[in-house]
A = this chain, B = another copy of it.
Amino acid sequence: MDQLNQYIEEHKQRFLDELFELIRIPSISAKPENKADMIKMAGLLRDSLLEAGADEAAVMETSGQPVVFGSKLVGPDLPTVLIYGHYDVQPVEPLELWDSEPFEPEIRDGKIWARGADDDKGQLFMHVKAFEFMVNTGELPCNVKFMIEGEEEVGSSSLKEFCRKNQELLKADIILVSDTTMIATDTPSITVGLRGLSYMEVELTGPGRDLHSGLFGGAVANPVNVLCKMIASLTNDKNEITIPGFYDDVLVLSQEERDEMAKAPFDTEAYKKEIEVDALDGEKGYTTLERTGIRPSLDVNGIWGGYTEEGAKTILPSKAFAKISMRLVPHQNSTDIDKLFENHFRSIAPEGVRVDVRSLHNGQGYVSPTDTIAYQAASKAMEQTFNQRPIPTRSGGSIPIISDFEEVLGIKTILMGFGLESDAIHSPNENYPLEHFYKGIETIPYFFKYYAELSK
């Protein structure tokens, strides 16, 4: 591994140029109009894997967006690491809040600014370049497989089926993923828990057309007013979710476990400052890290109805819509939660409105054990490059496919992420510190090294 730092130093500009080429493709999986970009993106990634040293790489069709698969097998007795990542990105609206073009990456203040800079093009590409290093220097101690999907941001709907059909091809000892955050540049951490997700869309219909709010106001249920009341009733004064049965399967942590979690450094003032709020809010009786780590939540992700342009239009709207998602914790089942939500939401609708509820996206949470050789390998690798032992943390985010991997392929996953919460993923001005990009490329080969050693 003597050549590692020198290799990165020599090739750092090329690594960036290649990443920028990937970022420039607007591979937004949520938008049908970007379908051609998805295909272009998949082809380019396949080429990168081959250039980096894969024996084989292919764009494989699924019922949705294609999966890029690549592999290099160096020995039948060596362990196999399956790298998972995704080439699709979130939509970029509202565009006016970006300081530079979302798909034209720029370097400012030591960071890459662009949609996908972190999530997940930046983090994924670290693996491609770490792989390139190991191949080029003859230091690849494990077999490597890549599985890179294009539907992570819209629920990985085809990937479970893809895994089912390709169990032999995907056989591996461990799945390694960089799609999460660490606490801070000087505080490495490894994500050992992910929340699940139930993402619903609701549609309320009152009158058959927009009505004049003067002629009808006060006599007809207004679907926006009603939607506000219904949403308001989904949480109580303690910010607990009121859907009957919602908490039934929630894993309750012991006081010891909570005390252990509380040891992670957390600076409330810095957290507030970073997101520009003057106060935090959440479920009574829990800390901020507990609220996002071990407790479920309910957020309106979007709401719309009636007249939303300039000026004063005096209508009583016909329709109101909201996207409402719940983050789930072990052992809540997202399909069960979808049903509980739908039944409850329909049950609280008053007369005079019709309710439609549909599930847009769901997935289970995940808990990764820390007493495995894979966790130890990741921990030692980060300790090597960050000079500090990483802290096991629970993330509030969801990567629903991770629990599917265990169910379908029977393989555990290590979430060794290099992002920061301030990277503004899913937001305007997404960014990724250059230092983290290069630190990731440096850390990954150590994971392979220690994983191979510990596997012996």
Residues of chain A at the chain B interface (Cβ within 8 Å):
29-32, 90-91, 93-94, 97, 153-155, 181, 195, 197, 199, 201, 206-222, 224-225, 227-229, 231-233, 235, 239, 275-283, 288, 291-292, 295-317, 320-323, 325, 327, 350-352, 360-361, 395-398, 421, 424-429
Contact = CB atoms under 8 A, between A and B. Distances in A.
Given A219-B282, A303-B305, A308-B302, A275 B313 contact: no
B296 A301 contact: no
A397 B199 contact: no
Contacts of A305: 300, 302-304
Given A219-B280, A228-B303, A302-B317, 7 more contacts: A31-B309, A93-B307, A195-B214, A209-B275, A215-B421, A302-B313, A312-B325
A243 to B, nearest CB: 14
Contacts of A314: 90, 197, 199, 301, 325, 398, 426
A228 B227 contact: yes
A212 B421 CA distance: 9
B327 A279 contact: no
A396 B216 contact: yes
A218 B311 contact: no
B206 A277 contact: yes
A361 to B, nearest CB: 4
B309 A221 contact: no
A451 B227 CA distance: 50
A419 to B, nearest CB: 10
A327 B361 CA distance: 40
Nearest to A200: B312
A231 to B, nearest CB: 4
Contacts of A97: 209
Contacts of A283: 218
B307 A277 contact: no
A228 B310 CA distance: 21
28 contacts: A30-B309, A31-B311, A91-B309, A199-B314, A208-B275, A208-B276, A210-B428, A213-B299, A214-B397, A215-B396, A217-B298, A217-B299, A217-B327, A217-B396, A218-B292, A224-B301, A227-B228, A228-B228, A228-B300, A277-B352, A279-B351, A299-B316, A300-B306, A301-B316, A302-B305, A302-B306, A303-B304, A314-B325
Nearest to A320: B303
B323 A312 contact: yes
Contact of A90 (B32, B224, B313, B360): B313
Contacts of A217: 292, 297-299, 325, 327, 396
Nearest to A28: B311
A323 B306 contact: yes
B209 A276 contact: yes
A215 B183 CA distance: 12
Nearest to A239: B218
Contacts of A280: 219-221, 352
A407 B141 CA distance: 90
A397 to B, nearest CB: 3
A397 B212 contact: yes
A97 B208 CA distance: 11
B215 A292 contact: yes
Nearest to A217: B297
A89 to B, nearest CB: 11
B235 A214 contact: no
Given A30-B310, A292-B218, A232 B229 contact: yes
Given A218-B292, A225-B300, A396-B218, A211 B275 contact: yes
A355 B320 CA distance: 22
Contacts of A209: 97, 275-276, 424, 427-429
Given A219-B292, A327-B214, A278 B351 contact: yes
Contacts of A197: 214, 314
A307 B312 contact: no
A281 B220 contact: yes
B225 A228 contact: no
